[in-house]
A and B are shown apart, each in its own frame.
Chain A
């Protein structure tokens, strides 16, 4: 009996801090977001959280999607951005991993490190790099190079010139987020390739397989679960994260609406001084929470997660 109690005590001691944080910053906020979405909270007048308006915010949201051209653009941007960046991240990550696997390991290490740098770079610094790369006058890198090569004879404002919208803005956000996201696939695929038994590769080579055949028939099939995992995981993070988009939009690198995805729309609706409509933003966030939960459950399935939660060997 004393032993049972001491085990409980130990558990409480070890788990309490993390559990408290998870409850305060994940569980309660999720429930609170759902709650707020049924109220009339705006301008952060927190007493309004008691004013229930039923499904009004959701109805408004559906109305805006259908009739507000700005929100329509946001929805379109979300679909285009998510699907194309996903493609870039998964296929680009696969290509990088294959290239890195084929060449000398020490050379590949420096490339893999280089590609992971954008992920570790502070968001404000990474935004700054592309701020003047895509700047709309001849001061921007892209404009200056294109002018020099004679492709264009007038600098183009990539983020605001209506004649190049929406694709200029879309391509910029896909490019910038692609650079950050592609390393995830690269790292996962590379470690999957590394765990392929070397005997298999050597045997294939002895049998006369070309490098392409080794890639096509050994490496990629071996990494198929990783492919599904990376796809779902990236889909989830592309839908729900927005910090890089936030700086691109706020700094005017891209068009406000054609640079805003659904999750940034949530953030701006709640926090920009001009809108400040938290209830509506919460309703928009609930949609994200639902999509996130579904995709998260798929991730659990795909990872064959049950194998990873076996009881510990060394319980006393």
Chain B
């Protein structure tokens, strides 16, 4: 894993010069204070995972009842049973579809973000053109202005664009160029396409900034040499520069994937099928702890959390640097 190697290399050797400011007992007190402040985070995640393996909700550090450890919750989730007493609400295939849907959205967002922001970041980093400064200002403004506030208009476009597309496809289906079954699944495909592109767009201003930071670090003499040797700008970009920013691309891909993976609002609004997010949402909205069997929901949530945690462990430092979107320039 290139990323890991890069991260390891960036871990500088420690010298006297870099000793912590506070040592010994005082440091102990600081760490204790930090731990104390972190208890809600540590406890809440622990309760979630523990509950997913228990026959009851585990919600308090003072346990005064007996817990039976079990993987039954995960089995029930994959069988589509929402509680031990209830029958199958969903089939196993439904549940796998929810997981696959979550994955499709996340992978789609990743693809769209990579394909659009890498070239744009390259152009901004390397080419001087009229309007470049204004484009950068615009990107920063859009980065600061979360697009979720524009969702009404985006949904309007979603409805508005649907019927001409559907009609065009219907005409194509009549000529036989497109199969009838595709026409039937058009709505679903359209929703997936739209939710992916719309969700990806939210990430684009930040992604361009992040990627520009990576391109800026590559000495331009390298591609200049390639261009002098007769390579076109595209060849120089593809053969010389892209391989050098692989860690950046990996970072960008992870962020984009997580953004698509965690989304609730967009899939809730645009997607007729469920993802893990809307599955959990449906179990809890309008329900109550008395009617919702939480251990199964906890199992679903734990499964939902796994990719996030995986990426989390892999990226570590990179994550900490990139939270503010490569704003350092």
Of B37, B122, B155, which is within 8 A of A14 by CB? B122
- Residue pair B119, A15 in contact (C-beta under 8 Å): yes
Decide if B97 is an interface residue (CB 8 Å cutoff). no
- How far, in angstroms, from A10 to B59 measured CA to CA in the complex? 58
Decide if A220 is an interface residue (CB 8 Å cutoff). no
Of A6, A19, A29, A145, which is within 8 A of B62 by CB? A145
Contacts of B281 in A (CB 8 A): 124, 247, 250-251
Chain A interface, number of residues (Cβ within 8 angstroms): 119
| Interface members, chain B 115-171 (any A CB < 8 Å) | 115-117, 119-120, 122-129, 132-133, 136-142, 144-157, 159-160
Contacts of B69 in A (CB 8 A): none
Decide if B319 is an interface residue (CB 8 Å cutoff). yes
- Residue pair A293, B224 in contact (C-beta under 8 Å): no
- Residue pair A22, B145 in contact (C-beta under 8 Å): no
Chain B interface, number of residues (Cβ within 8 angstroms): 119
Mostly helix, strand, loop or mixed at chain B's interface? helix
Would A125 and B280 be within 8 Å (CB), given that A148-B60, A300-B137 are in contact? yes
Decide if B208 is an interface residue (CB 8 Å cutoff). yes
Decide if A107 is an interface residue (CB 8 Å cutoff). yes
A188–chain B nearest beta-carbon distance, Å: 5
Would A21 and B220 be within 8 Å (CB), given that A124-B281, A128-B284, A128-B298 are in contact? no
B211–chain A nearest beta-carbon distance, Å: 10
Decide if B261 is an interface residue (CB 8 Å cutoff). yes
- How far, in angstroms, from A109 to B129 measured CA to CA in the complex? 41
- How far, in angstroms, from A214 to B116 measured CA to CA in the complex? 45
- Residue pair B60, A141 in contact (C-beta under 8 Å): yes
- How far, in angstroms, from A13 to B298 measured CA to CA in the complex? 46
Contacts of B43 in A (CB 8 A): 141
20 A-B residue pairings within 8 Å (CB atoms)? A6-B232, A18-B204, A24-B197, A32-B156, A99-B33, A102-B27, A109-B317, A130-B44, A132-B47, A135-B59, A140-B59, A148-B60, A198-B18, A211-B26, A241-B148, A266-B149, A285-B149, A312-B128, A313-B220, A315-B127
